[in-house]
Amino acid sequence: MAAVSYLTGNESPTAARMNALYSVFEGKLSTLLGGRSPILAFEGVIPIDLLGKCFFFCHGTLPAKFAYRVPQTRLKSGTIVYTGGASDAVLWSYDHAVFTAAKAALANLTYDEGPPIVLADNLAVGFYGSGLSKVNGVSLFDHSLETHKHIRPSDNKVFFIQERTVATAERHYDTAVAELILDGVTELTIPDAWDKYCCFRIHNLNYESATVEFGKGARVVVAGLGVATVRRDRTAIGSGAASSFSNYRVKNPGYFFDFEPPPEPPRHGEYRHFWIDPLNGLPMEKPATHMCANNLSCPAIHYD
């Protein structure tokens, strides 16, 4: 008997049917990898389209165990060795202070009332830190876990920040995936102020377990070398400080996200596209390119 019932025609891709399909893929991954992160399945670099936007939380002075296999790695010192021998690569870690300082330095602001966007002069190279590089068409804030906003002093209205030569403003993402790469760090807190993403994968590349706390909403303990997913609902957009979140769904271990039925007709649920070009003409540093790593917005990810 087939693990998944075959369709005969005219069926709708309901949440239940999609979840039945992905539960099989999840089971196969678990069997092949033993519940471990897919990053460990590649001796070299894991393909870019299997991962979302990566955020590294590393020791800072000791060599990384496995995180250097991620394509968005930023080398701090040492040399990456993929085959034969041990790598002595020390990686840069996520540093939110870089973005806080950059936001405070924004200059020559121009307000667009609707949608509420504030244009600012491009940030100079000197504001980039922690191994970040300036890339044409990419904002410094694209590298942040927070959706950066500006409050106009005259009326306290909230505006989303956009650098002048970058095509898109800051925004929230429902299905782009933030990959939290822990290698040398076993305790991590994601405050509500880091509100850009609703979907996370946690890759614990330590031999011991690691704990990630999401505000007051969820506490996830991931086994050594394991992977887990977290999804949350954005219930309110904070007025300059943070969004609020609820309904945390954790799959531990897990790689795929569960489809959910539409809250009300005539919406068709979460099935968005069959396939999304991983880059679609955009630099990989842009958060929007990483919807392709989420089966909710790109179901054909299982082909990769």
pLDDT tens-digit series, residues 270-286: 555 555 555 455 566 77
Residue 291: which residues within 8 A CB-CB, separation 6 or more? 173, 175, 176, 177, 272, 276, 297, 298
- Where b means 16+ CB within 10 Å and e means fewer, 170-209 reads beebbbbbbbbbbbbbbebebebebbbbbbbbbbbbbeee
Mean pLDDT is lowest, of 78-92, 263-277, 278-292, for 263-277
Domain interval for residue 147: 97-129+134-163
Is 6 contained in some domain? no
Task: Tell me, yes or no, whether 67 and 109 share the same domain.
Answer: no
Task: Tell me, yes or no, whether 190 and 299 share the same domain.
Answer: yes
* Chain mean pLDDT for the chain: 86
Residue 161's CB: how many other CB atoms inside 10 A? Answer: 22
Task: Tell me, yes or no, whether 80 and 106 share the same domain.
Answer: no
User: What pLDDT score was predicted for residue 99?
Assistant: 97
| Whole-structure pTM value | 0.90
Q: What is the mean pLDDT of residues 247-257?
A: 93
Is 27 contained in some domain? yes
**pLDDT tens per residue across span 147-183:** 999 999 999 899 999 999 998 999 999 888 999 999 9
Is 158 contained in some domain? yes
Is 14 contained in some domain? no
Is 1 contained in some domain? no
Is the peptide bond between 253 and the residue preceding it cis, with omega within 30 degrees of 0?
A: yes
